[in-house]
Structure 1
Amino acid sequence: MFKKTSLILLFSAGLFNIHAQQTIPFRITKHNNIIVKTLVNKKDTLDLMFQIAMEDASISPERQRKADHIIFNKEKISENNTVQIGKLTLNNVRFSDNQLAGHEADGKIGTVLFGGKAFKIDYDHNQFIIYDKTPDVKDFQPINTMYDHEAFYIVADNVIDGDKQQEAYFVLQSGYSGGLLYSNDFAAEKELDKKLKITGEKTLKNSSGKSIITKQAVLPFLKVGNSVLKDVSAGFFIGDLKKQTVNYFGADLLRRFNWVFDADRKTAYIKPSKYFSEPYYKVN
């Protein structure tokens, strides 16, 4: 009996090691931003916005809470910080100073949360799950990802004019509350100002008098893998200032799927979440 019990215990321990995981709870703001409650250097309690397009962390000049125990050098960098989130402790976290974050956030934190492991963004249950190896993804669809300069890129098909699909790369951008935000080049090449239904616009000028017009529009269809989203909120810029160099896949679209990312960052697995058919976020 003792030998049999020992074997069962050993077998159970082996299964646990294979599927070992850690869970990080989060909350979602009305602006679609993910907020993680953290304790930094055992002193500063901070609400940090998860930014999938960065690796390290940063502090916002508009923070509501004190960050007195994060010591920055002349280059506004702070090394070797500890970040505690529930039972999880991250060591040697780098913070940058004076980077704007989303609503309700004291700063940002990126994929350092996951330590180079496979991870899941579970919008259905408001949690991240970190895995020692890729979990069971039989109900998910794999899509290729490209990881470059701290950002994940995916390919999606845009139906702009009739039934013609325009393939484009998008950066996953959880810091942008809206849906799609197109690059200046894509907007100009595809004549989005003429071909999409415009729902609003705003003109801004800088100190030199140069203007930029932000336009909100509706994309008839967006295909991500085998999933099709209809009447997607999309923005783009026209005018003298052309600073939007990449296409964004924003937080309003990210939340419409649950995501699993491989440790090698070459594949993501997606499945529609409970938000898939929710009304689209209105960008001001």
Structure 2
Amino acid sequence: MFKKVSLLFLFSVGFLMLKAQEKIPFRITKYNNIIVKTLVNDKDSLDLMFQIAMEGGSISPERQRKADHIIFKDEISENNTVKIGKLIIKNVQFFDNELTGHEADGKIGTGIFAGKTFKIDYDNNQFGIYDKMPDLKGYESMPLFSENGQFYIVADNVIDNEQQEVYFLLQSGYSGGILYSNKFADGKELDKKLKITGEKTLKNSAGQSVITKQGVLPFLKLGNLVLKDVSAGFFAGDLKTQKVSYFGADLLRRFIWIFDAERKTVYFKPSKYFKEPYYKLN
């Protein structure tokens, strides 16, 4: 279903000091988003949300800080330089007017790690960047599927006492746990088979309704690790535009992740958040 492809190299990466490992601190918001402090074109200090589902960067129209030195043409800005700690990333492409997470001026993607193995360490609030594979003691592994710069994994879902395999897009911009695609939600009759804990209805100008429902997935199995009573959302109503299933930020934070340089394998183990209460969407 998914074609394994190499990352598009939108970035050329250089280091002020070449090391086997570089560490980049981040903070986690109450919405489960990762925020990194950046300096763009040596002028603009921006808080950018790390978005694992993209390679490049973007600037939000609702930003709190100025981005006057990012020059856009047709809402695209080329050849920018971004500094994150000691890391310097050149030739960064930014898109303009893309909404982002709370407390962020925009987004930055996985291109900052191009050609490198990288770790998302939620225990220590930092990224690790490696020239060689780090110690993998205690980690499990699974295939990583890449498509258009986005990453997918496979996890088993237990619904109505049946185990269902689902391809999930890793989506750090979605604060919740699981968000199922319309195809899966309709095909598996989630409206009937999941315990529904909440529902909201919105209508557009044409009177079409968008219904969001929150439910509880009894078990989600990632490798040999099992999460219980996972928060799971899906759409109903007239408008159904969710084409893929999300593995959201609330689930991502429950693991420490290592992505190999080829983006073909991901390694994971429980983080300190593994048994924390699930995030409740407003």
Write the distance in 1 (CA, Å) between the matches of 2:198 and 2:138.
Answer: 38
Q: Normalised by the size of structure 1, how large is the TM-score? A: 0.92
Matched AA of 1:117: K
Q: Residue 276 of structure 2: which of 262, 275, 278 is its match?
A: 278
Matched position secondary structure for 1:208: coil
Cα offset, 1:116, TM superposition: 2.3
Once the two structures are TM-superposed, the CA of residue 65 in structure 1 deviates from its matched residue by 0.5
| Structure 1 range deviating more: 180-189 or 85-94 | 85-94
- Correspondence 1:240 to 2:267: no
Q: Deviations over 1:87-128 (max 9, x none)?
A: 111111000000000000000000011122110000000000
Aligned partners of 2:263 and 2:239: how far apart in 1?
33
- Give 3-state SS (helix, strand or coil) of 2:197's partner: strand
Aligned residue in 2 for 1:111: 110
Alignment size in residue pairs: 265
Q: Give the aligned partner of residue 5 of structure 2.
A: none
Shift of 1:208: 1.2
Off by >4 Å, runs of 4+ in structure 1 = none
Q: Which residue of 2 aligns with 1:33?
A: 33
Q: Which residue of 2 aligns with 1:68?
A: 68
Give the structure with higher Rg (CA): 1
Please name the residue that 1:12 is paired with. Answer: none
User: Could you tell me how far 1:142 is from its partner in structure 2?
Assistant: 0.6
Tell me how large the CA RMSD over aligned residues is: 0.9
Q: Distance in 2 between matches of 1:118 and 1:86?
A: 18
User: In the aligned structure 1, how far is the partner of 2:64 from the partner of 2:167?
Assistant: 35
SS in 2 for 1:194: helix
1:144-184 deviation digits (Å, cap 9, x = unpaired): 1101111110000000102x100010000000000000000
Counterpart in 2 of 1:9?
Answer: none
Residue pairs, 1:1-284, within 5 angstroms? 20-73=20-73, 75-162=74-161, 164-284=162-282
The superposition leaves residues 239-276 of structure 1 with CA deviations (integer Å, 9 ceiling, x where unpaired) of 11110000000000000000000011110000000000
Q: Which runs of 5+ in 2 are unaligned?
A: 1-17
Q: Distance in 2 between matches of 1:195 and 1:116?
A: 43
Aligned-partner SS, 2:94: strand
CA distance in 2, matches of 1:266, 1:239: 37
| Bigger helix fraction | 1
Using the size of structure 2 for normalisation, the TM-score is 0.93
Mind listing any 5+ residue stretches in structure 1 that lack a counterpart? 1-16
AA aligned opposite 1:195: K
For 1:25 and 1:96, locate their aligned partners in 2 and report how far apart those are by CA, in whole Å: 24
